Amino acid sequence: MCINIYGYLLKTYQSSKQNLKTRLFTPETTEKMKPSEPPKLVAASSNISNDPSASEKGEATSQQQSSNGYALTVDEVIEQHIGALGFAQIVHALLVSIAWTFDAQSTLISIFSDAKPAARLLTTGAIVEGSMLCGLSTGEWEWVGGKSDTIVSEWNLICQHKFLVALPSTLFFIGSLFGSGVYGYLADSWFGRKKTLFISCLLTFVTALAISFSPNVWVYAFLRFANGFFRSGIGSCCIVLATEVVGKKWRGQVGQYGFFFFTLGFLSLPLMGYLERKSWRNLYRITSLLPLGYAVFLLPFAYESPRWLLVKGRNKEAMVVLKKLARRNGKQLPADLSLVDPIQGRDDPSFSSSENFWRTKWAVKRIVMVMMAGFGTGFVYYGIQLNAENLNFNLYLTVAVNALMEFPAVFIGSFLLGVMNRRPLFSNSSYLAGICCLLCAVFSLHRVTRALPVSKWLQLAVEAVGFMASSTAYDVLYVYGVELFPTNVRNFAVSLLRQAFMLGASAAPLLVALGRESAMMSFIVFGVASVLSGVVSIWLRETRNAPLYETLTQQGKAEEMENETEHS
């Protein structure tokens, strides 16, 4: 009896299973099956466009897809089909991040080219400071390294002309300030990220080479301004290109790749500066050739940002880039997949795709806070590096130590970005840098140096830790700035942040010049500025694991809904 019942149930189950399989895999139902999760699908409209030019240009919106197709956002395509971080994204991020090397060299080369060299008395051979040369005639002393060592020795920028030494570096950062705004606009509107990066590298080569032929300090200062202006597109384009093709979990870590190459560029300067210590002009010529080689031989292999292409209505090109990334990751995008157009109503003749950044209240408030934090961070980050000459140590050794401290800053920052929220990580790094600067001020006191023989070693150690913390804050704020704004203004917003960095940096050389008279005062100012930068971040929104939005309207509505959900 039991066996008969069991046989009957088994036969009924097999019959039902066969009928279900037959119904599921008919041609009609097979065509309707989708490879992705139903909640994430955006159904295509049945009103199919008959205009063939739209498909050729890749400008079809989500309402114009095939009836058998489905559309996803770029974030969903990356997370579901390409992979949050694969071989293709790693190679691409490394490729675009290499340009940070030249950014570092252009920015920090003045540490050696504008340094104050040693002088000696001809009668006794004693080494004297620059301030002791003011009452002597030119026949009583000479520069130890020769007149072509730095711009100070070549143009005698001492005594009443000593503050001219700070002018080229200040103008360099002011040029970077103006250039950041221009490049940010070009990268978001006309040229895109990749072409803007190419133009920046090419013009960096031209101006750096021209600097090496400067006949006097005034031409040198002007060309440094031009060099700062034209190189300012490198950093912002690199970090945006690297982070816009990875999943939200890995944006922080990938954003750190550029700072690793920035560190390599920084670390290369003491070596090149020592080898070319007899000619500051040769130092500029060597560094000028690197961005040219990169722009010609490496940059063509990088991809344009698919997010930017999509915002510009170039859907077909965006899909081509995503397909290449998927293929290099060993995957393939579904044939019927399309991209959701983030700008609705694009086909309306009266439609305008432009959004006014400065009329969007939340964006303006946010960028003001970001720029305030960026000003203090840039002021301290570049100030500590340039202030290396005011420590009681060999300049090459001090710069090398600071450069080496960038490596733990990059690795620690990469790790912490994966496990910590952006806001506390930035603020705590700023506080630590400020405390270290204040300790450096204490160790520079004469009474402390007399009472504590190892005070100069302690000062170097504390300064190195402070620089590492400042570097971490600088790196984190860059990544934070990328995540705080949508695609159609992201490069512009990051460029404004870079402007704030450069504005702070432009004030740093003046304080460094003051530090030659009072090292304690310069460290105190740097310490207070760093602490205030951390305080400002209290008013910024947390972005860890948040999606990257495409337009100001889209992000504003999404954040408004999140705020209502949190308050309810």
Q: 346: Cβ–Cβ under 8 A, 6 or more apart, which residues?
A: 59, 61, 313, 353
Segments of 22-65 assigned E as strands: 42-43
Tens of pLDDT along the chain (568 residues) come to 433 444 444 444 444 444 433 443 443 343 434 444 433 333 333 333 333 333 333 333 333 444 457 899 999 999 999 999 999 999 999 999 999 999 999 998 998 999 888 888 888 888 886 667 887 887 888 888 888 899 999 998 888 887 788 899 889 989 998 998 899 999 998 899 999 999 999 999 999 999 999 999 999 999 999 999 999 999 889 999 999 999 988 998 898 888 899 989 988 998 898 889 889 999 999 999 999 999 999 999 999 999 999 999 999 999 999 999 999 999 999 999 999 988 766 665 544 456 788 889 999 999 999 999 999 999 999 888 777 666 666 677 778 887 888 888 888 888 998 889 999 999 999 999 999 999 988 887 766 666 666 677 787 888 889 989 999 999 999 899 999 999 989 988 988 998 899 888 888 877 777 766 667 788 899 999 999 999 999 999 999 988 888 889 999 999 989 888 877 7
* Other Cβ atoms closer than 10 A to 346: 17
Alpha carbon distance 220, 531 (integer Å): 35
- Buried b vs exposed e over 416-428: b needs ≥16 C-beta within 10 Å? bbeebebbebbbb
pLDDT at 94: 95
Given a contact cutoff of 8 angstroms between Cβ atoms, the answer to whether 212 and 218 are in contact is: no
pLDDT at 447: 63
Burial degree of 26 (CB within 10 A; 0-12, 13-18, 19+) = exposed
Helix (H) or strand (E) holding 366: helix 361-386
Bridge-based pairing of strands 42-43 and 127-128 is unpaired
Which whole-number Å values give the CA distances from 42 to 39, 47, 59, 346, 559, in the listed order?
8, 15, 17, 18, 21
Q: 104: Cβ–Cβ under 8 A, 6 or more apart, which residues?
A: 261, 262, 263, 264, 265, 266, 269
Given a contact cutoff of 8 angstroms between Cβ atoms, the answer to whether 149 and 277 are in contact is: yes
Q: Is the pTM of this model over 0.85?
A: no
Burial degree of 94 (CB within 10 A; 0-12, 13-18, 19+) = middle
- The set of long-range contacts for 88-91, using a CB threshold of 8 Å and a minimum separation of 24, is 88/324, 88/325, 88/326, 88/327, 88/328, 88/329, 89/245, 89/246, 89/250, 89/254, 89/325, 89/329, 90/254, 91/328
Closest CA to 388 of 115, 131, 174: 115
pLDDT at 283: 95
